[in-house]
């Protein structure tokens, strides 16, 4: 059986985790964040979320060193649970990744239209009141096909692309922080919260899992580590990505609110760019922000593409779904069938246009929390060390809390009927695939 190519090192895994986490949400939906919670409420939500996820990241670091399997959460759950529940847990995590791919492709067109308003012409149709324009649709399709080609040809090309883009994003981010500090004012932070402090924090904390999803993408590529790669490197990449990712979001929100009065930004398209345009009365900061956003789109899209295709590949390999999904290209050593499946699903999502942007964050947050919870619970049940079980228990409580925030109707911002419908359709699709596969007994 042809195996996956083994080419990845520590920098590759960090770039994969960080890149999967940081896309262009900090530009595309900044107005939604500030409207939900205000500047301090949003910063606290991402800061608390990042710290709270450290035990979860610790568990993943230990799991991947113990069991380097591309199916990630499904493999971990299979150590203690029956085959079907284990598969469905992995299937939910697949949703968390694959749902981001069309999000990024759609966001590319939205971002490009900000620079070139002429792209908002040739309306083809509308979805839920959101028009779909031909030029923007074409950009999303081209971006999808480019990354599909990159991943079809080999993990080395994909990883090199990811490292280069991640480095550029962090460098441009440093420039933005310096620019904000030079022209902003603390007065712009007032009021600190959009409503009561606790309610404000909770409203954004609910969606933090969606924007922090990515650190656990490392296990999905664990089978592609370079020969001689130390298992402790997985742990270091995960924890570093969590720290840097949470810090990125907190500092970015602070920089935007420092640059301009935040209440003037709510409801504005690309509020981050608007804030810096307001502060500098010049175009150059906006160009830096947009360049950074374009790079962020590509790194996040690519990272989620890698993670979701590896999950489909692993399910096909073990027979949870039809085995053709687990095929490996004899020349490129890539899961080429899984790559084509993710490409097809992304292209379908692209045709939904801007209607996809905000609702996706809600479903993705819930799906991520399910995967994190299962990883922590299964690790708790497998290990006997008291310290390890305590950390796993804390991680499980954090993940459970994030999950309940989306499911309990008493919590502001809980699932609506449309999100329940999307979830039911995804689970139904997973069960249909399962019935057509030939699961290995556990």
Q: Look up the CATH number of the domain holding residue 371.
A: 1.20.1740.10
pLDDT of residue 439: 52
The domain of 31 spans: 10-436
Residue 81 within a domain: yes
Q: What is the DSSP secondary-structure string of 394-436?
A: HHHHHHHHHHHHHH-TTSTT---HHHHHHHHHHHHHHHHHHHH
Looking at per-residue pLDDT, the higher value among 154 and 141 belongs to: 141
Q: Are the C-beta atoms of residues 23 and 247 closer than 8 Å to each other? A: no
Examine the pLDDT at 362 and tell me if it is beyond 60. Answer: yes
- Kindly report, residue by residue over 163-204, the tens digit of the pLDDT: 999 999 999 999 889 988 888 889 999 899 988 899 899 888
pLDDT of residue 1: 45
- Kindly report, residue by residue over 8-20, the tens digit of the pLDDT: 999 999 999 999 9
**Cross-strand partners of 123:** 133
Residue 1 within a domain: no
Q: What is the mean pLDDT of residues 333-350?
A: 94
Examine the pLDDT at 365 and tell me if it is beyond 90. Answer: no
Residue 206 within a domain: yes
Residue 441 within a domain: no
The structure tokens listed for 369 are 């929390």
CA dihedral 230, 7, 88, 205 (to 10 degrees): 70
User: Confidence band (pLDDT; 50, 70, 90) for 361?
Assistant: low
pLDDT of residue 438: 57
Examine the pLDDT at 414 and tell me if it is beyond 80. Answer: no
Residues of the chain with pLDDT > 90: what percent? Answer: 56
- Kindly report, residue by residue over 90-134, the tens digit of the pLDDT: 999 999 899 889 888 888 888 888 888 889 889 998 887 888 999
pLDDT of residue 314: 94
pLDDT of residue 396: 97
Give residue 115's Cα distance to chain centre.
25
Q: How far from 79 is each of 165, 211, 220, 233, CA to CA, in Å?
A: 37, 29, 17, 23
pLDDT of residue 412: 66
Residue 348 within a domain: yes
Residue 5 within a domain: no
Q: Are the C-beta atoms of residues 376 and 392 closer than 8 Å to each other? A: yes
Number of domains in the chain: 1
Residue 442 within a domain: no
Q: What is the mean pLDDT of residues 57-70?
A: 94
Examine the pLDDT at 221 and tell me if it is beyond 50. Answer: yes
Q: Are the C-beta atoms of residues 31 and 267 closer than 8 Å to each other? A: yes
- Kindly report, residue by residue over 369-395, the tens digit of the pLDDT: 899 999 999 999 999 999 999 999 999
């Amino acid at each position: 059986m042809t195996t996956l190519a083994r080419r990845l090192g520590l920098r590759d895994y960090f770039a994969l985790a960080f890149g999967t986490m940081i896309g262009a949400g900090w530009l595309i939906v900044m107005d939604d964040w500030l409207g939900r919670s205000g500047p301090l409420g949003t910063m606290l939500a991402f800061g608390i979320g990042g710290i709270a996820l450290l035990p979860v990241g610790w568990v993943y670091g230990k799991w991947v060193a113990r069991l380097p399997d591309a199916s990630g959460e499904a493999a971990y759950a299979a150590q203690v649970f029956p085959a079907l529940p284990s598969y469905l847990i992995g299937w939910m995590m697949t949703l968390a990744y694959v749902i981001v791919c069309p999000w990024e492709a759609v966001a590319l067109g939205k971002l490009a239209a900000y620079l070139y308003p002429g792209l908002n012409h040739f309306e083809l149709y509308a979805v839920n009141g959101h028009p779909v324009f031909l030029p923007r649709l074409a950009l999303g399709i081209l971006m999808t096909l480019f990354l599909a080609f990159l991943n079809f040809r080999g993990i080395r090309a994909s990883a090199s692309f990811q490292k280069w883009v991640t480095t550029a994003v962090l460098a441009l981010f440093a420039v933005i922080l310096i620019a904000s500090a030079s022209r902003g004012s603390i007065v712009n932070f007032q009021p600190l919260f959009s409503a009561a402090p606790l309610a404000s924090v909770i409203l954004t904390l609910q969606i933090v899992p969606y924007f922090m999803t990515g650190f656990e993408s490392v296990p999905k590529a664990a089978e592609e580590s370079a020969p001689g790669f130390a298992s402790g490197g997985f742990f270091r990449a995960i924890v570093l990505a969590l720290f840097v990712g949470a810090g990125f979001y907190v500092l970015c929100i602070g920089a935007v609110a420092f640059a301009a009065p935040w209440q003037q930004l709510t409801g504005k398209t690309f509020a981050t760019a608007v804030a810096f345009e307001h502060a500098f009365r010049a175009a150059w900061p906006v160009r830096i922000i947009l360049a950074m956003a374009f790079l962020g789109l590509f790194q996040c899209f690519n990272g989620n593409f890698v993670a979701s295709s590896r999950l489909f590949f692993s399910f096909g390999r073990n027979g949870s779904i039809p085995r053709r999904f687990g095929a490996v290209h004899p020349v490129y050593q890539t899961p080429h069938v899984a790559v084509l499946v993710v490409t097809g699903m992304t292209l379908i999502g692209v045709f939904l246009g801007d209607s996809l942007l905000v609702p996706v964050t809600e479903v993705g947050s819930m799906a991520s929390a399910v995967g994190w919870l299962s990883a922590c619970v299964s690790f708790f049940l497998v290990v006997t060390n008291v310290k390890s079980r305590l950390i796993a228990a804390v991680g499980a409580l954090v993940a459970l809390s994030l999950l309940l925030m989306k499911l309990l109707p008493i919590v502001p911002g809980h699932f609506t009927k449309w999100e329940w419908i999307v979830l039911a359709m995804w689970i139904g699709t997973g069960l249909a695939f399962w019935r057509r596969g030939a699961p290995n007994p556990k």
